[in-house]
Amino acid sequence: MTDTTAAGAFMLGDRTVNRLGYGAMQLAGPGVFGPPKDRGAARAVLRAAVASGVNHIDTSDYYGPHITNQLIREALHPYPDDVVIVTKVGAIRGEDASWIPAMTSADLVGAVHDNLRNLGVDVLHVVNLRVMGRVHEPSEGSIEAPFAALAELQRQGLIRHLGLSNVTSAQVGQARRIAEVVCVQNLYNLVHRADDALIDELAGVGVAYVPFFPLGGFTPLQSSTLTEVAGELGATPMQVALAWLLHRARNILLIPGTSSLGHLHENLGAAEIKLSNDALARLEVIGERTAQ
């Protein structure tokens, strides 16, 4: 069995979690909308993740909507003491599966209570404010009002820790003046490297950075160099891409998602991959070429 602890651990709020976690988004139906074809198979993936040492699960009640949280509850409740569930608020789903910003105080209160109910908990361990921006990349603008609304729910005891998603460095600074921020979840992977400076900034203050789409998301990463390095290591390109992220910075926590048991174990296998200086140098060029 893969030793997921080989990737190390990092603080997420007041808890230490293994750096290789699991993202539940893909457990919903196509387009992250509606139920999966096989709820039993989805529950099996969640149980296998936890059995393999995953203790950081990322979700949201707008996945489905409600579907992934319900699956998590069906599969894992009552939750093991060491499992940390991180959710996010700031959007709702339209009947056409569209993603609609929902950032008013009333929206956020409703979303927090939806998460509490569907996960079957009295307090949410971490709630990320997901700023819609340009959907998968941030745009500047004040987030004071919605983050302050979540900070009030934290004071009420409904949320233990707060985080952010799809934000800029300036927005992180604004939020940290309101309440402690324990994690930032932005688009980042071997190819998409816009957050290099932000990762280093957060590492300096002990804040976790959680890349979404660590394997490219709806458009999987493709690179001949990545494939070559993987072949030399006897690994898959996706394992190498995850291993590169683990090497990139100690504060990076990974949440690769899948609805497949095979892919789950493949992803977790990245914990044991060692990248040589030569391999790292060759992989580094992939991001540099993309940035040009």
The sign one gets for the Cα dihedral 85, 158, 97, 210 is negative
Q: What are phi and psi of 279, to 5 degrees?
A: -65, -40
Lookup result for tokens 């569209």: 98
Report DSSP state, residue 180.
-
Active site residues: 63
284 three-state secondary structure: helix
Exposed / middle / buried, residue 44 (Cβ in 10 Å: 0-12, 13-18, 19+)? middle
**Cβ atoms within 10 Å, residue 288:** 9
- Please, which residues bridge with residue 84 across strands? 56
Q: What does the block give as tokens for 103?
A: 């950032």
Q: Computed from CA positions of residues 2, 86, 43, 74, in that sequence, does the dihedral angle turn out positive or negative?
A: positive
H or E element: which one contains 95? none
